[in-house]
Amino acid sequence: MRTKIAITDDHALVLRGIRAMLSDTPELEVVGTYENAEQTLEHLKKDDPDILLLDINLPDMDGITLCKKLIKEHPNLKILALTNFEEISFVKKMLGHGASGYLMKNTQKSELIEALKTVLEGGQYLQKNIEKKLLNHALGQRNAKKFMPKLTRREQEVLEAIAEELTTQEISEKLFISVKTVETHRMNLMSKLGARNSVGIIKNAIEKGLIN
């Protein structure tokens, strides 16, 4: 029985290239190619692939959001990211939203087929350099957690409010403190966490395990 493959990528050349790459592998059959999220959502149920090769950079919806949506609608579908993006944040989000693996577009045919077989059998496949980056990132997080800043109760409350994307005024109203006091706590958080702005505060706080 042949394994049915579908591909979502907004470059027609990539779609043709992957289809051609897999054409002489008798156990694999490309049943659908889609150039955007809309086409994927429209045709996936009809084509009923076992595995979807999914790019992250799509014109109408990012692949991370699409992955989450597809897994919810098609829980038996295996999704394998195939992209040019190797940022760890993308890898973690794709895996967190249900993807079974992550490959770069420069992967060789032999590795692509190995990845397809691995995810089909229920395993997870990461390209070697991606796996190494994840490991180094995890080690970096572990080392960062050793230097744990001590936050006051109010600083922790402000930190959690910033994580909720509340404005300074909204934090002031929620915690019953003045806008100036909120800004003081924000400055203290930036200093303790080694950040330059609110985005950095959240990023560093997550790395140190101060918020989820």
Q: Is pLDDT above 60 for 141?
A: no
**Pick from 20, 12, 13: nearest CA to 36:** 12
Residue 112 has what pLDDT?
96
Q: Domain 147-207: which topology?
A: Arc Repressor Mutant, subunit A (1.10.10)
Can you say how many angstroms the Cα of residue 7 is from the centroid of all Cα atoms in its chain? 18
Compute the C-alpha angle 209/166/164, nearest 5°: 35
Reported as a pLDDT band with limits 50, 70 and 90, residue 172 is very high
Residue 67 corresponds to which amino acid? Answer: C
Distance, in Å, from the CA atom of 72 to the CA atom of 129, rounded to the nearest integer, reads 29
pLDDT in tens, 82-106: 999 888 888 988 999 999 999 999 9
* CATH of the structural domain 3-127, one choice from 3.90.79.10, 3.90.1150.10, 3.40.50.150, 3.40.50.2300: 3.40.50.2300
Residue 209 has what pLDDT?
82
> What is the torsional sign of CA 111, 49, 94, 10?
positive
**Pick from 6, 98, 12, 9: nearest CA to 59:** 9
Domain ranges of the chain: 3-127, 147-207
Instruction: Extract the tokens encoding 154.
Output: 């109010």
Identify whether the C-beta of residue 101 lies closer than 8 Å to the C-beta of residue 93. Answer: no
Alpha helix positions (H), the chain: 12-22, 37-47, 63-73, 88-96, 109-120, 128-146, 153-163, 168-175, 179-193, 198-207
Residue 132 has what pLDDT?
86
